[in-house]
Amino acid sequence: MIISFIISGSTFIITDLNSALIKEHAYLDPGSGSFILQLILAALLGSFFVFKSYWKKIINFLRGKSDNEHKDEGE
Amino acid sequence: MSRANTIVQPLGSSFRDPSGFLFRKDGVLYRQVNQVHKEDYQQLMDSGLYQNLVAAGLMIPHREAPFDLALNESAYKIILPEPVTFISYPYEWCFSQLQDAALTTLKIQKRALEFGMILKDSSAYNVQFQNGRPVMIDTLSFESYHDGCPWDAYRQFCQHFLAPLSLMSYRDIRLGRLLRVYIDGLPLDLASRMLPRRSRLSITLLMHIHLHAASQSRFADKQVKTKRRVSKRGLLGLIDSLESSIRRMRWSPKGTEWGSYYDVHNYTQDGLQHKQQTVAHFLVEAKPAIVWDLGANVGIFSRLASEMGISTIAFDNDPGAVELNYQECISKGEKKLLPLLLDLTNPSPSIGWHNEERIGLIERGPADAVMALALIHHLAISNNVPLDRLARFFHQLCKWLIIEFIPKSDPQVKRLLSTRKDIFENYNQDNFEYAFQEYFKISRKQVIRDSDRCLYLMEAHD
């Protein structure tokens, strides 16, 4: 149900066409379905990522850790 | 003389990416960087990304080699990468090895973006284990990042890493071996169908496997043109989501007690110590640079070799034993030991295009020495392999052989024979020695204290 709703919702993307995002020397086929899903997920996850980054900064600030320590832990 | 002997050609695995290829000349492995990849290669080297990744132990270092080694006029540079001790493949890795390789790939991707570059592919075969840790070996996998461009290798990452890891974690650890069948990673529709329903409760698996498979099915063979872009923030969000998903996945071997994983109970304490001392003496005598320990279990005897500074590959058929062995390597920071998953009764074959992309086990040898301890009865009795065939097999694998013969009087062999008819009339020590002397010279022979088991050091006939 959720799957079909989200995928159906993406139909507008293929009607909004005019230039291909094909790189000059790309040798992998990114796959149409993977590409469209990536567009949707990036839009959703980008905002969440920003929120999460700021949240981590706040937590680290409160714990007295530097940004670099936080970055090292993340890796 | 055949053409194959006179012309140096790219390796069988190196043909997909027009950016360059690997070739071997006079036994040395080189990589040709083609003109078409000139700008991306220079950006990798000049931006500081290469130095950053090498310093962090995330990428194999290389140096430039003489240009006259170029195989054709497309060449821009010839580079000499640091040799990898032993090439292994994702279907030979345990759960944590595949997980670490996935996390390494994402870590590299994040660092690449910081330096204005992006991974143009994310094949699990671009990662190898060197000095105990996963490293990127494909210097040509980086291209310039342009704001708004999607990650072309997103699907490949899900197929090579996320799908097999989720199946191993949620369904059955043995499903990792599907990677041997699907050389470009697991098809996402197959993974989606095989995963249990509860996997849809994981938001990351719902997105990257189930929705992904549905999207592939819906838009299969449709051309996509759009002005829409994937922002860098969105791309980082996507990578962060994949990373969280992979980090959260867990698999623990059943019966993780160390004792339950090694048959130490088949020896008295004195007997076990005697076996360890004997194997160590044999290793000192053979002086191998590389040892393959076949049937290594959790690596008790492999460590006798690796702790002497010998590069040791510890093969076992049990994913739990390999997992425990790898975790011990990580916790102790061991650099000389590489645990790998291998079914000796059906060893990794040469697979892929022209059967040359991924090399079979035997073609990756011979090793200087093979250890086959508490193994031969499993091959001869459980798998019905005649002794002469076992001797021929080991002769293909190594120069030195440290092998243990376990007679029918041993409790382990009695256990194997307890549920079946004993059709192994020839399975005795005299016949074992006779069969192996066809291919090897017996240099040393030592009965293990408090047992009927016997250890041999053998040297292969030329």
Strand runs labelled E in B178-263: none
Chain A hits for B237, CB-CB cut-off 8 Å, are: 41-42, 44-50
Is the CB of A23 inside 8 Å of chain B's CB atoms?
Answer: yes
State whether A45 and B222 contact (CB < 8 Å).
no
Q: Distance (Å, rounded) from C-alpha B348 to C-alpha B325?
A: 20
Q: How far is Cα B383 from Cα B437, in angstroms, rounded to an integer?
A: 22
Q: DSSP secondary structure string, B248-315?
A: H-----SS--HHHHS-GGGS-HHHHHHHHHHHHHHHHHH--SEEEEET-TTSTTHHHHHTTT-EEEEE
**Contact status of A59 with chain B (Cβ, < 8 Å):** no
Domain edges within chain B: 3-81, 90-248, 267-460
The residue among B143, B219, B233, B247 with the most chain A CBs within 10 A of its CB, best to mutate, is B219
User: Choosing among B34, B37, B113, B152, which should be mutated to test the A contact, i.e. which has the most A CBs within 10 A?
Assistant: B152
Q: In chain B, positions 129-158, which contact chain A (CB-CB < 8 Å)?
A: 143, 149-156, 158
B342 torsion bin: left (phi>0), alpha (psi -120 to 50), beta (else): beta
pLDDT tens-digit map of B199-255: 999 999 999 999 999 999 998 877 777 777 899 999 999 999 999 999 999 998 875
pLDDT (0 to 100) of residue B9? 86
Distance from the first to the final alpha carbon of chain A: 36
- Which strand (E) or helix (H) includes residue B443? strand B440-447
Residue A54: pLDDT band by 50, 70, 90 thresholds?
confident
Query: Is B267-460 the same fold as B90-248?
Result: no
| Edge-to-edge strand list for the sheet holding B290-294 | B337-341, B311-316, B290-294, B367-372, B398-405, B454-460, B440-447
Of the partner residues B155, B222, B226, the one whose CB lies closest to the CB of residue A34: B155
For B99, list phi and psi in degrees, rounded to 5. -65, -45
pLDDT of residue B1: 38
Contact A33/B151, CB-based, under 8 Å?
no
| Residues in A touching B234 (Cβ below 8 Å) | 41-43, 45-46, 49
**Chain A residue closest to B104 (CA)?**
A75
Chain A contact for B272 (CB, 8 A cutoff): no
Based on the number of CB atoms within 10 Å of its own CB, is B19 exposed (0-12), middle (13-18) or buried (19 or more)?
Answer: buried
Q: What percent of chain A is helix, strand and coil (3-state, nearest 5)?
A: 70, 0, 30
Distance CA B316, CA B299 (A): 9
E strands within B331-424?
337-341, 367-372, 398-405
Interface confidence (ipTM) of the complex: 0.85
% pLDDT > 70, chain B: 96
Give me the CATH code for the B90-248 domain, please.
1.10.510
**pLDDT value of residue A75:** 53
Test mutation, A7, A22, A45, chain B, max B CBs within 10 A: A45
Q: How confident is the model at residue A69 (pLDDT cuts 50, 70, 90)?
A: low
- Determine, for residues B120 and A27 on separate chains, whether the beta-carbon distance falls below 8 Å: yes
Closest by CA to A33, choosing from A15, A10, A2, is A10
Can you give the pLDDT at residue B3? 43
* A12 pLDDT more than 60: no
Q: What are phi and psi of B255, to 5 degrees?
A: 60, 55
Residues 6+ positions from B68 with CB-CB distance below 8 Å = none
CATH level 3 topology of B267-460: Rossmann fold (3.40.50)
| Phi, psi values for residue A49, rounded to 5° | -65, -40
Optimal mutation site among A12, A41, A55, interface B, most CBs of chain B within 10 A? A41
Tens-digit pLDDT profile for residues B36-90:
999 999 999 999 999 999 999 999 999 999 999 999 999 999 999 999 999 999 9
CA-nearest residue to A49 within chain B is B237
Interacting residues of B290 by C-beta distance below 8 A, sequence separation 6+: B85, B86, B310, B311, B312, B313, B367, B368, B369
Q: Would you list the domain boundaries of chain A?
A: 38-75
B19 in contact with chain A, both atoms CB, cutoff 8 A: yes
Which of these ranges, B77-81, B92-96, B416-420, has the smallest mean pLDDT?
Answer: B416-420
Chain segment B299-343, per-residue pLDDT in tens: 999 999 999 999 999 999 999 999 999 999 999 999 999 999 999
